[in-house]
Structure 1
Amino acid sequence: MRAGEHIRVVDLRKRYGRTGPWALRSVGFTIPRGEVFGLMGPSGCGKSTTLGIIAGFVTPDAGQVLVDGRDILPVPPHKRGLPMVFQDYALFPHLRVHDNVGFALKLRGTPASTVASRVGEMLRMVGLEHKSDRLPEQLSGGEQQRVALARALAIGPEVVLLDEPLSNLDAKLRQQLRRDIRDVLQRTGVTAVFVTHDQAEAFAVCDRVGVMFDGTIAQMAPPPELYRRPASMDVARFVGESNVFPAVVVEGGAAPVVDIEVAGHGTVRLPVAAADAPAVGQRGSVLVRPESVGLADAPADGTALPGRVERAEFLGPVLQATVAVGDRTLLVTLSSWGDRAVRGDQTWLSLGDAFFVPEAPAGAHPGQERERVPLDAGGAA
């Protein structure tokens, strides 16, 4: 076990049926102690299967799950000490809040006074001490999820698993509860694995996120890096909206320059950032996030593009505009306090913070642009 390492997942593979599709092709990651690690991806990508294997609800075809250096796969789920917070709360409907939170403690034979003290501590932490005598049906969805979190943490675990815990809540409640969950996890210092399909949740709650497609992890990084420096166009599209241009590298190395093709306008030469130093002639795509596109009444330099505002939507803190450039449209996000965009305006666009993503190698699986471990028909490497 490496220093600071708490959980290590090694080459997990899972196939449902001998001829069925691979749910997991080769999944591995390491989580240091105290980190909130997220698994994010579309439905069917393998994130819930991975969490189920860690919890003990799913048996893998191959791989290891090590906690503090010990492989827990042979250990029954109820003896792993890894409580889970489910998306449907999974509270006992006939038990009051304090009995739900203290249930596992009582099962362990914990003295009544200790149970009462611990339950009170947990309910204060999630802000529900005044509702300890309520039944679950008397609580809102957000309150029920707070109870589920308190119950998971009551036994003092070192690791907690969260399976789409906010998916059953409305948008405003999700915003509040994701802040509460982050707060509670930081205060307790537990290591957490948080599964979600929602980018905002993953970015708000997690220290690092693994983005999954097609049974593999395409990229693992802190949220700002995932957003600003995606490893593939699949990751870029999944974690936010983008303006994407075909490009070819004309100056390589650490400070690359590319030519981008803007349909109906021509070629524009642009300095870019890149994860690796690309070679001259390498082809790929340039990604520019909507908030990195600026509007001006006059061209700032030779890279500015002429455009016409087709639509402008006021969204409170931001304006979202669609601007026609040549025969394509670009998405632009502006501050609603000072910037102006009115339908029909002629404008000039500047492209800032452009990032170059190389073409995927031929034969790569969707979402995974780097080489994967080959699999034979039986699932062994």
Structure 2
Amino acid sequence: MTAIDEIKAQFASQNKQLQALSKAYEDLKKDMMTTDNAPQSSQIAYSPDLKSKVFEKAPYFRFLESKGRVDDSFGSTYAGFYKETDNSAASWIDESDDIPTQTASSYAEEVSKMKTLIHPIDVSLMAQMGNNAIDILAREIDKGFIKVTNQLDSTLLQGAGTAAAKDFKGFTKQVSTNVDTLDADEPISEDAIDDMLTSIIDGNGGVVDCIVTTNAVAKQLKKLVAPYRRFNDKIDIGLGHRVIAYEAPNGSEIPILIDSNLAQINSKDVMLFVDSSTIEVKRLLAPTLMTNLPTNKLGTKNAVVSFATANNIAEFRNGMIKGIDTSLEVASPYNVTVNVPEAEGTG
């Protein structure tokens, strides 16, 4: 090989190295651009206005949150729950008696994968630039936060927990021990409510600290117990809101949440009796704003996203009354006929 050939070979090798460096630089530049424009997230904080709106739209969820039943410190896509079946009992024995045989309570481990809840926000560039009266994007973000929480509230009440629904099982799909279905011509009554509370409290050791129902049922209850103090009193549930309460047979005041997300079952209204200590809500991601999502449109594409799941770890300490026909007349004490004896004639 001549000296000229060696020089040519060196130039060719250097050229290949320069091309490789150039390609590496371009790839690095693309990576940097991708990183700069990658989706970003920011936690959505409760403002006083949002707190009020969220309570109005999702009172059951906010109640559970106030009771410390929502765990936002969870760090896994899977949540483990221990579902309790209580078989234990206490008994008296003589000092010299053997310790009696006991049937141990069982705790079934159940694993649930986090479910994805999303509210897309797609606002065009023209809509944002051509409107000086309101901040459309900010309004859409607030609405997305409320709607995500609203949907979570609905799922906590009656989520199907099926692959098609892509959600988790809610209260009405898990409670099966204390369930009463009213007859077709049977209106809701104090006896039905008190019997359910007795069954839960005395029979199963539950502590009902919340009743959830619809506005139509609440209207019947108000008429049912109008002459009494119960249900007309309002109590503070620690959320800056006062709600009506029902006086249980043991004298405790149970807050009643009117939740528009509670759907009918077989075209009839329902009433839920909740022991909040049995409801566990796990969230890998609280409602969070994801920005700079890829889009081919002139505008910004964002989304409010949450990862959550929940379980009822002791359904036997809860209850449900189904088949409430709100078209029936309740047995109001005002509808009592009093027979007044006729005055005797004076002759």
Q: Which entry has the higher C-alpha Rg, 1 or 2?
A: 2
TM-score normalised by the chain length of structure 2: 0.24
**By percentage of residues, which structure has more helix?**
2
TM-score normalised by the chain length of structure 1: 0.23
